[in-house]
């Protein structure tokens, strides 16, 4: 009887494995079951060009992501003091943030890291102790200085750990690092004259390390991007294909559409509608005119599509809380 029972269990196990594999083959999605969902989420802008009554504006980007009690500093702005000062002005506590996410190597996203670590570790020795980056961020560049190797050297000497990703990774339950993005569509938005060392050769710097955060909620994914050099649609495609096939509730950050043609904006708007995007905070390199064009093309209103400004925020309960200058 025991042998019969054991044989039945083995057969069921094999059948179940075959079913799971069939589901994977058909969908192409790694996830066998729905991933964890974040129930409480807030994203606060700490660096961009526009400011309200408090803070400093700059050509840069940074945001604080708070998800179910976990905090992540997304990018660190351009100038050494901007994010630190803006956080103080806004009453945002960064001392208990232990994880930093860097979208790519450009200084307008990494310039505040050393100062933030130096200041915050006096309050909490573990502040900003883990830095999450995409593969390629330390590559040598020609035509655009890459400070990341020196930043890494200085911070590793201070005990900070750099974690490099070449694929998607769940940082916290429901909070995903996309990893570097596959370029399915032609969304080129970088400068051809800048070269990157790859092996023994120098090639056009296509920002291979560009990555974003994708946060899974019951209402859909919330995507936070630094510049979207890989293309906002490519990024959303990778989220759907590699993490989970689900609609996207909101996109926040920089999407590098400031130079986009009307044709490309129309294509982008159609794709964003296909993904179900209903809320947009377009900061930094998105482009004000491009953002307004997207808003019109997507038939969304001013409360759901805003120009990002220092101190604005998004949360699951209230949606977008726009700064006074962007309302």
- Cβ pair 181, 223 in contact under 8 A: no
Q: Is residue 155 part of a domain?
A: yes
Contact 319, 279 (CB under 8 A): yes
For 285, what's the count of Cα atoms within 13 Å in the CB-facing half-sphere? 22
Q: Identify the pLDDT of residue 6.
A: 39
Q: Look at the chain and report how many structural domains it folds into.
A: 1
Which residues, in sequence order, are bridge partners of residue 198? 201
pLDDT of the residue at 53: 87
Q: Which two tokens stand for residue 32?
A: 């066998």
Distance CA 110, CA 148 (A): 8
**Per-residue CA distances from 142 to 105, 188, 201, 258 (Å):** 13, 19, 12, 24
Q: Is residue 63 part of a domain?
A: yes
**pLDDT score of 161:** 98
Q: Decide if 207 is inside a domain.
A: yes
Per the domain annotation, does 20 fall within a domain? no
Q: Which residue has the tokens 């604080």?
A: 64
In a domain, 12, yes or no: no
> How high is the pLDDT of residue 269?
98
- DSSP-derived secondary structure for 117-169: HHHHTTT-TTTT-EEEEETTTT--EESS---HHHHHHHHHHTT-EEEEESS-E
* Alpha carbon of residue 162 to chain centroid: 17
277 lies in some domain: yes
Contact 90, 44 (CB under 8 A): yes
Among 136, 258, 261, which residue's Cα sits nearest to residue 205?
136
Residue 16 placed within a domain: no
Locate 107 and state its tokens.
């200084």
Tens digit of each residue's pLDDT (9 = 90 or more) over 179-220: 999 999 999 888 888 998 888 899 899 999 999 999 999 999
Looking up residue 184, the CATH number of its domain turns out to be: 3.60.15.10
Provide the Cα torsion 183, 185, 190, 192; round to 10°.
Answer: 90
Structural domain harbouring 122: 38-318
Q: Which residues of the chain have pLDDT under 50?
A: 1-32
SS3 content of the chain, % helix, strand, coil (to 5): 30, 25, 45
In a domain, 9, yes or no: no
Question: CA triplet 302, 277, 312: central angle to 5 degrees?
Answer: 50
Residue 135 is encoded by which pair of tokens? 């593969």
* DSSP one-letter code for 42: E
| pLDDT value of residue 16 | 41
Distance CA 138, CA 249 (A): 32
């Amino acid at each position: 009887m025991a042998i019969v029972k054991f044989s039945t269990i083995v057969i069921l196990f094999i059948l179940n494995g075959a079913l799971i594999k069939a589901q994977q083959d058909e969908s192409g999605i790694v996830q066998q079951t729905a991933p964890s969902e974040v129930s409480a989420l807030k994203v606060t802008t700490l660096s961009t060009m526009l400011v309200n009554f408090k803070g400093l504006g700059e050509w840069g980007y940074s945001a604080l992501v708070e998800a179910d009690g976990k905090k992540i500093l997304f990018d660190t702005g351009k100038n050494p003091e901007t994010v630190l000062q803006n956080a103080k002005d806004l009453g945002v506590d960064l001392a208990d943030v232990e994880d930093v996410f860097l979208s790519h190597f450009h200084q307008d996203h990494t310039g505040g890291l050393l100062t933030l670590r130096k200041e915050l570790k006096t309050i909490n020795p573990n502040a900003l102790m883990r830095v999450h980056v995409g593969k390629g961020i330390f590559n040598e560049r020609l035509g655009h200085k890459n400070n990341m190797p020196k930043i890494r050297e200085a911070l590793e000497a201070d005990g900070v750990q750099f974690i490099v990703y070449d694929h998607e990774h769940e940082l916290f339950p429901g909070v995903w690092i996309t990893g570097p993005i596959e370029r399915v569509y032609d969304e080129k938005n970088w400068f051809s004259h800048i070269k990157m060392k790859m092996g023994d050769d120098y090639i056009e710097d296509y920002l291979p390390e560009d990555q974003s955060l994708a946060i899974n909620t019951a209402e859909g994914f919330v995507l936070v991007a630094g510049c979207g050099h890989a293309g906002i649609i490519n990024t959303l495609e990778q989220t759907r294909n590699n993490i989970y096939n689900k609609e996207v509730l909101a996109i926040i950050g920089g999407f590098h559409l400031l130079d986009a043609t009307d044709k490309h904006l129309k294509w982008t708007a159609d794709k964003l509608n296909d993904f179900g995007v209903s809320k947009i905070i377009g900061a930094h390199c998105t482009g004000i005119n491009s953002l307004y064009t997207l808003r019109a093309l997507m038939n969304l209103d001013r409360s759901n599509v805003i120009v990002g400004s220092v101190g604005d925020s998004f949360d699951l309960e209230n949606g977008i809380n726009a700064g006074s200058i962007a309302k």
